[in-house]
Amino acid sequence: MDWIEATGKTVEEAIEKASEILNITRDDIETTVIEEPKVGLFGRIKTEAVIRARVRPKERIARNTGVKRQRTRQERPPHDRKVKASGQGATRAVKVKPSTKEVKPKQERQKTPKMAEERKERTMEQQQQDELAVKGFLEGLITALAVEAEISISSDEESTLAEIDGEGLGFLVGRKGTTLQAIQELVRLAVRKQGISGGSRVDVDIAGYKKKREIALAEFTRTLAEEVKNTGVAKALEPMNPADRKTVHNAASEIEGVITVSSGHDPRRYVIIQPAS
């Protein structure tokens, strides 16, 4: 079994990543620590821990459990992965066997014309209420921060979008959009607390940050997908939020010969682009 390398803020985190990549439990993994994590000023991680890992040889597993047995062909893992990762959020090369499991489409409930009309009327009312609630919250926020900005609201049956434009709004976006994400969550909570949003989604964009990021991420994804298609080697992107993962899935779907799958758990969930066959 080939060795892989994995990194993490601690050795334990690196081992967890390796076990997830190899798709095995901690008991069945064999590891070697290459480099311990180094802590810099104020306790910040200067360099991450680096380990080598592989599936523990079956002879050792049998010896540890006190049972000698050989793994049958049917019991062997369905695929092997080769991963090389360095640094936090690094792109990793992965060899993956695509899943052949058939996904059956969900049965949709038939809607009568009367039901559709009733839903349309109810949705229009909710849209207007959501728009007022979102605008009121953001106007209060802008006033409290003494920022000059314009707020525009638009909505449809599924979501409400608030766009804030003005000069010097970078601090409201934050590094990698973290402050923007926090503001968006506050707006959603405010609308939900009033109990008027019928389950609709509320999105906030500041200074066009999301649009610019979506365009750049989609272009990067298409370039990476072409590379996967030509080399036959899968690529794992850095962990992303659900909106960015959706952008990656949509952009990669434009390239024939590749597919995308999500792996991991939030907030470290990421997308793998892999050959379709």
CATH number at residue 244: 3.30.1370.50
Residues 227 and 245 in one domain: yes
pLDDT attached to residue 200 = 66
Buried b (16+ CB within 10 A) or exposed e, 224-259: bbeebbeeeebbbbebbeeebbebbbebbeebeebb
Tell me whether residue 153 is exposed, middle or buried, using C-beta atoms within 10 angstroms of its C-beta: 0 to 12, 13 to 18, 19 or more. Answer: middle
Residue 129 sits in a domain of what CATH number?
A: 3.30.300.20
Q: Are residues 134 and 203 both part of a single domain?
A: yes
Supply the pTM of this predicted model: 0.50
Asked whether residue 170 falls in the same domain as residue 201, the answer is: yes
Q: At residue 87, does pLDDT exceed 50?
A: no
Residue of 242 and 220 predicted with greater confidence: 220
Examine residue 80 and state whether it is found in any structural domain, yes or no: yes
Q: Which of 207, 222, 246 represents a domain boundary (last residue)?
A: 207
Domain that holds residue 60: 4-86
Are 234 and 93 in contact by the 8 Å Cβ rule? The answer is: yes
- Quick one: average pLDDT of 41-52? 69
Q: Which pLDDT tens digit goes with each residue over 153-209?
A: 988 877 889 999 999 999 999 988 889 989 999 998 888 877 655 556 889 999 999
Domain membership flag for residue 107: no
- When divided into structural domains, the chain yields a total of 3
Within-domain flag for 108: no
